[in-house]
A and B are shown apart, each in its own frame.
Chain A
Amino acid sequence: QQQVKQSPQSLIVQKGGISIINCAYENTAFDYFPWYQQFPGKGPALLIAIRPDVSEKKEGRFTISFNKSAKQFSLHIMDSQPGDSATYFCAASYAGAGSYQLTFGKGTKLSVIP
């Protein structure tokens, strides 16, 4: 079974600090790596995504770093705010014949304290 391993399971960060969540994958065919953000009582929503042709993608305070050789990617949240408190899921997929699944990590619950 394809796997995406996510760490840490939970994270507490001071307001203004940097939050870092890591994911590792096994299947080298994966070619799409999104991060989803989920607030309590809501469905997940796409936050940011990257493809392996670039090593970094930045959108505002959110950055994905991608290391193809290590088969790892991470989400960095700069200047973390209490409003960023949510559960974050990394995921991976590829558009190969017969493969139409998004494989999720187990999630990281982020708490940003004032």
Chain B
Amino acid sequence: EAQVTQNPRYLITVTGKKLTVTCSQNMNHEYMSWYRQDPGLGLRQIYYSMNVEVTDKGDVPEGYKVSRKEKRNFPLILESPSPNQTSLYFCASSLGWGLGQETQYFGPGTRLLVL
């Protein structure tokens, strides 16, 4: 089944304790992205990647890191989480960009609570 998977689905942590949220897709997609969803703010892009070893900042990158060492994986790293990073996080992927390839396929989400 074509899908985007995220782990963990739920996470409670404390301020300053490094964490990683994994994202994997099995569709051989070039483009991958991380979004956070907050009430009243919609979906805001954190980072995106056009291909292996190619990443760029989205609209809200502060406090986050990403890496793209393999085409299928795009982990989101919070080096020192803070309470304002409590949110619902979505990973998404698409075939590419432009020419009808932009359709984003979203994972099921990771709900993070930082105490």
> A interface vs B, CB < 8 Å?
1, 6, 9, 32, 34, 36, 41-46, 49, 89, 93, 95, 100-107
| Residue interface mask B19-52, A partner, CB < 8 A = 1 | 0000000000001010100001111110010100
Cβ-defined contact, A95 with B43, below 8 A: no
- Are A100 and B56 touching (Cβ within 8 A)? yes
Q: Name the one of B56, B98, B107, B108 contacting A95, with C-beta atoms under 8 angstroms.
A: B98
Q: Does B109 contact A (CB under 8 A)?
A: yes
Distance of A43 Cα from B91 Cα, bound (Å) = 9
Q: How far is the CA of A21 from the CA of B14 in the complex (A)?
A: 39
Given known contacts A42-B108, A49-B103, A100-B50, A106 and B40 CB-to-CB distance under 8 angstroms: yes
Contacts of B31 in A (CB 8 A): 100
Q: How many A-B residue pairs have CB under 8 A?
A: 58
Q: Is the CB of B42 within 8 A of A43?
A: no
A106 to B39, CA, bound (A): 9
**B56-115 with Cβ < 8 A to chain A:** 56, 58-59, 90, 92, 97-99, 102-109
A106 to B59, CA, bound (A): 14
A49-B103, A100-B50, A100-B56 are known contacts. Are A106 and B42 too (CB-CB below 8 A)?
Answer: yes
Say yes or no: B103 contacts A43, CB within 8 Å: no
A43 touches B107 (CB 8 A): yes
A101 to B33, CA, bound (A): 9
Complex CA distance for A43 and B102, rounded to whole angstroms: 16
